[in-house]
Structure 1
Amino acid sequence: MHSRIGFLTYEISHAIRQRFNREMENMGLTHAQWRALVLLSENENCRQVDLADKLEVKPITLARQVDLLEEAGLVCRKKDHEDRRAYRLELTAKANSIMQELWAVADSVENQVLGILSADEEALLLDLLQRIKAHITEHPFVHGR
């Protein structure tokens, strides 16, 4: 039997992102921008390059997203006092209120997706996924098992 978990988790993740993006259309934000806002809210005043690393994207890709978020009044770039080539990012007050709306949309999408599971099944799924994530994070990939 061939491995299917990677393909299946990718397809589920893709479907969830599509639903989220459809829900977010009226707010003018994408899933990628929401991820940037969430990670920035957890890492306030971080350097732009460090946020790109956490998001696992190239700095130039994040720079474009930050440009859009800055134009929307959600993020503020400030010069890094320690490295004049770098910028530090902060959420604005407007972003903090929008984050509440984003979390409500995310909760709604998650409820739609997990609605077919009982509360016990949902808890078990979450536990299993967290264990898998912890395992693959703690144990680097070794070819061939």
Structure 2
Amino acid sequence: MIVLAEPEIKAELPLPAELLPYLGFVLSKATASLHGWVNAELAGLRLDFKQVGFLALLYLQGPQSQIELGRKLRIDRTTVVGMVDDLEAKGYLERQPNPHDRRAYRLVLTPSGRRAIEQAEKIVLRTQEEFLSPLQPGERETLLALLRRLI
């Protein structure tokens, strides 16, 4: 006799109550949840949450060096190089000689990168709104304000 396995249903288990008093634990779970959700929504653009921040700074602030972007985003050099290589391979940015420092390159968004970040911003904002939907508008603003003060 052949027994067919029932499809696996992935239910979210509640977080252990004993760990809920720990801010780091709760923040890390909330962050992981939001990042997972956003990354799934961004998959069609071949981007992830971290890459969106990277491209967003180039979009909003203009060309910059890898070192500047890494400092602003608090990302180590090795990670920055990997991100730049990946984003360049996808055609979203390019390295150009820095007119003020011949030893360095500045990163510039390509037209494809501009389109991608404009689409990604809409996705991120929509997903963020859905994620925060259990909170009242005033609570959302308070949460963001408090988190900004902490960092």
TM-score, scaled to structure 2 = 0.77
CA RMSD after TM alignment? 2.1
The size of the alignment, in residue pairs, is 133
Poorly superposed stretches of 4+, deviation over 3 Å: none
What is the match of residue 24 of structure 1? Answer: 42
SS at match of 2:54: helix
TM value normalised by structure 1: 0.80
Separation (CA, whole Å) in 2 of partners of 1:8 and 1:105: 24
| 1:89 Cα offset (Å) | 0.8
Residue among 91, 97, 103 paired with 1:79 = 97
- Given residue 32 of structure 2, which amino acid in structure 1 is its aligned partner? H
- Deviation digits for residues 30-54 of structure 1 (CA, Å, limit 9, x no counterpart): 1221121112223322111111222
Counterpart contact for 2:45–2:120, Cα < 8 Å: no
Q: Percent identity?
A: 28
Query: How far apart, in 2, do the equivalents of 1:49 and 1:131 lie?
Result: 25
1:10 corresponding residue in structure 2: 28
Tell me the secondary structure at the aligned position of residue 84 of structure 1. strand
Name the residue aligned to 1:142. none
Larger radius of gyration: 2
Q: How does 1:1-145 map to 2 (within 5 A)?
A: 4-133=22-151
**Cα distance 1:45–1:31, how it changes in 2: closer, same or farther (>3 A)?**
same
Give the partner amino acid of 1:81.
Answer: P
Structure 1 residue 115, shift from structure 2 partner = 0.9
Shift of 1:17: 0.7
| TM-fit CA distance, 1:132 | 2.9
1:124 CA drift (Å): 2.4
Distance 2:28 2:135 in 1: 20
